[in-house]
Structure 1
């Protein structure tokens, strides 16, 4: 008897469907089970408000998790950077596949590089983290908040409403649109978001058999790296819409984590804290908490707009 198809919950955006399609094929190859996509609309998909106004953390995730918990789907695929850092009751992070390139990229008019943008150029991003770090790199640019999918954001440049937009390499790669990139940011210059470039496969905690099957897609170094990054984010008590960058690299023997908090929404040169820590991959979460504690000692909470 043929096994019943697995139902994979996914957001409806072109990027989410592309990511989920990649995962569906990998799951079928690893388990022999057919996978069908179940499209779900999240609050973050329908709201045009800034992430900071609609709550940020969880707005792209909660509807998928509700579908998991009520049995509408068997597992879900998330962009890991969208996941709240708290572990959800009744759900398990079954696999973190090998992550894509973590860099941010520029899509600009006339094939311009970031350094070649003229003073006063309008650069769009929906990320407070990117906005704050871009202001740190170049105070002469106008950073414009934007929302929408890749087509919408790139369209602002095509229509001349913006001079450039900053997006994630991973998203454009999965959509087959890297040809539109005009410049690449070194991750040491524009530190990525915690979890950027990584995907998360989530299922019900009680479904141990499925979790074991999905674990075939897990990539140990990526999981260790994102555990450190997410521990940093959690200890800073910062959500996915906070101006926090965190990037870890892991080998079998060593994990290095760098974090940054950059002051947002300031007309002056933004203040920034940037620190690193190194240790064993098995200590990923402890390293994230240790780095957060050191950054908080240096005033990170104040840069995030929190009272100290």
Structure 2
């Protein structure tokens, strides 16, 4: 029986169950089946404080990783955008499955069809400084309201009419089958997502035998174009020395000829730095990371560090 560690939220369990089914189709293959093991994290227990005040990067993953290192579970699944960019000792990133839609999406109250349909002075909820910044650039008239909680909690603000709309990751809504709640999906090249948004990370202990059935199954689950894209995005985030809750947005894509396109933005209240880069060589993880670092260095030279020090949400 494979024990798979996960946060207890509906989305986390749905994501983890999807990974488990790829590894144990019909309960056969890697083992005789799987068991989802709920792990409570600090970020789940405190659903009111801004992420920057309760630990920021890693607030949703530390407890899950501790369960893995303690041998309480065999595999753990995270939303990759929640993972710190520094590797964890004793843990290996074994697979990054194919990425779900990386875009952000708007869930609106009844009668609204998208961002432009929100009345002047409308109220939009998000707990993300990155989303707040891009919303204010698109609609300076809006009131951005800080919110926390799981997908259901945040959607309810709009469904009850307390807010005109909320912005969420499209991937979570799609994974939960909530497609019909989406009023608008923002194009990821225009409304840049968080680094690695829509991607999953599957981790195991570093000492797992690479020839074991589990390791081989995880290797088959890994999706190279997704791994290359998120390698560039996360390398940029790390080079900027910014956490997962910083006003940093980036999106990378592998083209049909195996080249990489990367675009990123760092947002301040009065200044925005947006850059993009296209690679000329066939992409590898190493070249993707180098591309991310190079773009970050360009943005730092343009003043990104000062923008990262600004606070968007109280």
TM-score class normalised by the smaller sequence? over 0.9
Tell me how far apart the structure 1 counterparts of residues 174 and 215 of structure 2 sit (CA, whole Å): 27
The yes-or-no answer on 1:256 pairing with 2:261 is: yes
Given that residues 30 and 217 in structure 2 are in contact (C-alpha distance below 8 angstroms), is that contact kept between their aligned partners in structure 1?
Answer: no
Which residue in 1 is equivalent to 2:105? 105
Deviation at 1:32, TM superposition (A): 4.1
Mapped partners of 1:150, 1:60: distance in 2: 15
Question: Hey, what's the Cα distance between the residues in 2 that align with 1:174 and 1:241?
Answer: 22
Q: CA deviation at 1:303?
A: 0.8
Looking at structure 1, the residues matched to 189 and 99 of structure 2 have their Cα atoms a distance apart, in angstroms, of 17
Q: Which runs of 4+ in 1 moved over 6 A?
A: none
Larger deviation, residues 208-217 vs 278-287: 208-217
- Alpha-carbon contact 1:94-1:212 (below 8 Å) kept: no
Match for residue 184 of structure 2?
A: 183
1:6 paired to 2:2: yes
The answer to whether residue 290 in structure 2 is matched with residue 294 in structure 1 is no
1:287, 1:175 → 2: CA distance? 33
Secondary structure in structure 1 of the residue aligned to 2:107: strand
Please state how far the C-alpha of 1:125 moved relative to its aligned partner.
Answer: 0.5
Counterparts of 1:86-165 in structure 2 under 5 Å?
A: 86-109=86-109, 110-165=111-166
**Compared CA separation, residues 259 and 28, structure 1 to 2 (3 A):** same
Q: Distance in 2 between matches of 1:79 and 1:126?
A: 16
Q: How does the TM-score come out when normalised to structure 1?
A: 0.94
Report the Cα distance in structure 2 between the residues aligned to 1:146 and 1:32, rounded to whole angstroms. 40
For residues 220-231 of structure 1, what are the structure 2 equivalents within 5 Å?
220-231=224-235
* Total equivalences in the alignment: 297
- Determine which of 5, 8, 11 is the counterpart of 1:15: 11
SS of equivalent residue, structure 2 residue 296 = helix
- Alignment partner, residue 46 of structure 1: 45
Offset at 1:141? 0.3
Q: What is the distance in 2 between the residues matched to 1:32 and 1:205? A: 18
Q: Secondary structure at the match of 1:213?
A: helix
TM-score by length of 2: 0.92
Q: Where in structure 1 are there 5+ consecutive unaligned residues?
A: none
Q: 1:250: Cα distance to partner?
A: 1.1
Question: Bigger shift: 254-263 or 270-279?
Answer: 270-279
